[in-house]
Chains A and B, each alone.
Chain A
Amino acid sequence: MTTIRIPTPLRPYSGGQSNIQVSGDTVGAALTDLTSQHPDLRQHLFEGDKLRSFVNVFLNEEDVRYLDGAETAVSDNDTLMIIPSIAGG
């Protein structure tokens, strides 16, 4: 199973867990399993069917947008991280 690292502020919506084991062969399937296990996470990660604009998914420190996006393959020892975009002034 793949591990998804949950950002600190979202842990109230993941039962307090920081790392969650998910099934699925792709990033998209892994995220679907994550939000099936913890439905309250969905509103924070998705807007409709798309990831919120400030939500980035990294596979072992690589931004999946520069891999195959939601179709990026994942395997058992992989770690997915949800990394926000933050800017301001």
Chain B
Amino acid sequence: MLIIPDEIQEQIRAHGVESYPYEGCGLLLGTAVNGTNTVSAIRPTQNVWPVEAEKPTRFRIDEREWAAVEMEAMRQGLDVVGVFHSHPDSPPAASPRDLAWAAFPGYSYLITEIRQGAPHDGRSWQLLPDRSGFVEEEVKIEDS
């Protein structure tokens, strides 16, 4: 399960809108306990996919940026618990490309659809332990 305060959900949606028509991305910070990832902050990152024309359907997170966020999270007693990205004008389902370039099972992969520049549905996914696919996880939005 992924738990997100509504205020942070709004930040994620706003980042997707700002990034439109490109995919926006970033890291979810918080705590991970018994399979539940609870988000308390986000760090938007650059979409460093190398081909500009493909950014409406591709994203990549810079590992150096991730390392800096990981260091910052460590100092604050937080952890990176997942990744968020947006799907401009496309449903928030994990794509074959998301699967091909995923990392460790256990992270939440939150996807938000941005339709015609406005935020729509968000759904979150977890990589199966054998890395063969994604399974949807429940998203609980809490009052801030």
Residues of chain A touching chain B, judged by Cβ–Cβ distance below 8 Å, are 5, 7-12, 18, 44, 54-56, 58, 61, 63, 79, 81, 83-89
Contacts and interface: CB of A to CB of B under 8 A. Distances in A.
Interface of B: 23, 32, 49, 54, 57-61, 63-64, 66-68, 70-71, 74, 79-81, 83, 85, 94-95, 97-98, 100-107, 109
Nearest to B57: A89
Contact of A81 (B70, B79, B83, B109): B70
A86 B102 contact: yes
Contact of B32 (A9, A87, A88): A9
B59 A89 contact: yes
B96 to A, nearest CB: 9
A8 B107 contact: yes
A88 B63 contact: no
Given A8-B106, A9-B107, A44-B104, A89 B58 contact: yes
A87 B101 contact: yes
